[in-house]
Amino acid sequence: MHLASTTSEDPTARERRPALRRMTDRPAVPGILFFLAALAAIEGRLVLLDHRDITELLRVGSVYGHPGQVPRGVHVFQDTGYDGQFYYRMALDPANLHKTAFGITMDAPYRFMRIGYSALAWLVSLGQHAAVPYALVAINVAALGALAYLGGILAQEAGRNALWGLLLAGYFGLMDSLSRDLTEPLAAFCLIAGILAYRRRHPLLAAAAFGYGVLTRETVLVVPAVLGVTRIIQIARRRARPGADDLAWIVPAVVFAGWELVVKAATGVFPILSDSGKNAGLPFSAAFSAIAHNFAHPSTPVPSAPGAVIIWDIEFVVLALFAVAALLSLRATTVPVYERASFVVYLVVVFSLAPTNWDGYADLRSFVEVYLLAVVILLATPRRRLASLGPLAVCAASLVILVALYRTQIS
């Protein structure tokens, strides 16, 4: 009798557990949780590192930003600065495609490819220059919350609790983007929104999401491109007919090509071609070199940051675990074929990137699409075929917290 009383569960506790599960099984829950987490990460950085000066997140450097010419109140660092300074410059006037404007010189025409983030910041700020730094931060915080919300929807579609949606937004590279006013959070949201819209047979919404996504980060184009190839094959084999569904890949392609022509007319070069030397390289060369070096020298300081390469090593291992798990689940997952093929293409792309994308101070943010598609695949893998999602989620969550804290201490 005594043994039975100690092992039996309180009936009230059993009733509370399903009720709590029902309360958390709503897409808005992970959305709100991650929105608050992103807001806390930004506030922590501003308090601990940037002296509550939100313009320090822009990382305007004196090499490209000219003191005395940049808008009043913008902090200028005595170095080269970082990518956020160029998105800020475009956000002051997205229609201004001159090499130098508002005291900031663009380092290369390919920066203009990612006009989407800046244009939205211009709209949110109502064209008021003083409000642009706040708009850039607000967009990324909102995008991460919205990404987790969409993750909750995808998790529910796969028969999982909506809280698993936190995993979609839980990529450590997004913390780097959040702290430097970069394009990845908004692009990630557009990518997943397009995928979800196409799944639900809303091709116009998918076209809008993918179309805006390619203007925010050109790598978003991989998914509609693979979708287009898939559709053409289906049509050629008479398994499908041309129709409204094709807008989801045709519109993004037209938007991308059209903007390339606009920038070419303004700068004299196609931005995608001016990008090749910085972001593209010999397949596997930079990847294998970085992997070999960083794992052989884990205590080496990270360039321009008071940390060690061991952080990069941990990040790479976690990302590799997600990628390998997704690869092993390709046959079991229920996601559409084009999503699986897109994941494989993204893997090939990241191993063809230049050395600048494989360094240690960017938290592998250039590989965000590999992570996103891996999570999408794993969420839709039957539980009986995948026992590793829980441990992977623990690894991702721990690393996001680590990087968020790390980013409050480095510039």
In the prediction, which pLDDT does 8 show? 47
Alpha-carbon distance values, 169 to 11, 82, 149, 379 (Å): 36, 23, 9, 13
pLDDT along the chain (411 residues), means of 10: 44 59 88 95 80 91 94 93 96 96 94 97 97 98 98 95 94 92 98 98 98 97 98 93 96 98 95 71 75 79 62 89 94 95 96 76 88 96 77 86 74 61
Residue 199 lies in a domain: yes
What is the number of structural domains in the chain? 1
Residue 135 lies in a domain: yes
Q: Which class for 333: exposed (0-12), middle (13-18), buried (19 or more C-beta within 10 A)? A: buried
Residue 168 lies in a domain: yes
Residue 6 lies in a domain: no
In the prediction, which pLDDT does 4 show? 43
Which residue range is the domain that position 40 belongs to?
A: 26-406
pTM > 0.85:
yes
Residue 362 lies in a domain: yes
Residue 7 lies in a domain: no
In the prediction, which pLDDT does 118 show? 98
What's the rounded Cα separation, in Å, for the pair 50 and 28?
31
% helix, strand, coil for the chain, step of 5: 70, 5, 30
In the prediction, which pLDDT does 93 show? 97
Pairing of strands 104-105, 76-77: unpaired
In the prediction, which pLDDT does 237 show? 93
Output DSSP code: residue 359. Answer: S
Q: Which two structure tokens, joined as six digits, stand for 185?
A: 């959070």
Neighbours of 96 (CB within 10 A): 12
Residue 386 lies in a domain: yes
Residue 17 lies in a domain: no
Give the relative orientation of helices 247-267 and 222-236 as an angle to the nearest 10 degrees. Answer: 130
Q: Which class for 390: exposed (0-12), middle (13-18), buried (19 or more C-beta within 10 A)? A: exposed
In the prediction, which pLDDT does 406 show? 73
What's the rounded Cα separation, in Å, for the pair 254 and 211?
8
